[in-house]
Structure 1
């Protein structure tokens, strides 16, 4: 049986930001939903407003991959069932709520170092904010051409 959109979002919230507390998990959920709702660029073209297309887009979320660089990934959405807090945040995000300090961020990552100004490194995202260990990036004008 396939997971519902709610279940998928709750699982990726736990996997991608489970150790980042309520604010960190809401920030990741906001970013994912920004990808679903963006009206232009790569995520609009590929996702077409469908969260499943966004989550399953190749190379986007490590938690959606069973292997990384040929090695089994122990931290996946399939091996980490969500808790009630993850469902609550998924419901919050699916209802249209968002963290406003995230802006319109379409990307986040944990650099294990200071946040670089641009990410991805092709110049389509510029630094917005750091929340706990994750850096968040808003689309640049260059993103619209993707």
Structure 2
């Protein structure tokens, strides 16, 4: 069963987002960015209240994804990334992004916390951060 409700356009948008945000991180990195995206739709907490769709999450302001401000995001979705998007929509989770709501690319090492959210780990260039079960139970 899917973790969030989507249609074919949502899947393509998520596919474009994960490619634009993490293509250089490989398939696993793109899956992790997809985990963060799906978690934000599911969360209904903190910075992500009232996000009910992939579109709401993708274009959230402030706090949305940088990739939406660049032309690469607006290229057509490719089959490879569409398959990855479906995997995360259908519930596949990859540590350290399993319950993460944030990620970023630091210039050095990952900090232990980011805006009071715990570091859950790093994959290549991205550090991932998750809320607590008390703050965001829907993510877990």
**TM-score, scaled to structure 2:** 0.80
Alignment partner, residue 109 of structure 1: 104
Contact between 2:16 and 2:73, CA under 8 Å: does it hold in 1?
yes
What is the correspondence of 1:24-63 to structure 2 with a 5 Å cutoff?
A: 24-43=29-48, 45-47=49-51, 49-59=52-62, 60-63=64-67
By relative contact order (CA 8 Å, sep 6+), the higher-ranking structure is 2
Contact between 1:46 and 1:54, CA under 8 Å: does it hold in 2?
no
CA distance in 2, matches of 1:140, 1:96: 20
Shift of 1:81: 3.0
Determine helix, strand or coil for the equivalent of 2:103.
strand
CA distance in 1, matches of 2:27, 2:133: 31
Contact between 1:62 and 1:76, CA under 8 Å: does it hold in 2?
no
1:85 aligns with 2:80: yes
Alignment partner, residue 21 of structure 1: 26
CA distance in 1, matches of 2:126, 2:134: 23
Shift of 1:102: 2.1
Deviations 1:12-46 (A, max 9, x none): 01100011111101111011111111153331x23
CA distance in 2, matches of 1:100, 1:20: 14
**TM-score, scaled to structure 1:** 0.77
Which structure 1 segments of 5+ residues have no match? 66-72
CA distance in 1, matches of 2:121, 2:89: 22
Which structure 2 segments of 5+ residues have no match? 1-7
User: Pairwise CA RMSD of aligned residues?
Assistant: 2.1
Shift of 1:126: 1.3
Determine helix, strand or coil for the equivalent of 1:17.
helix
Structure number with greater Rg is 1
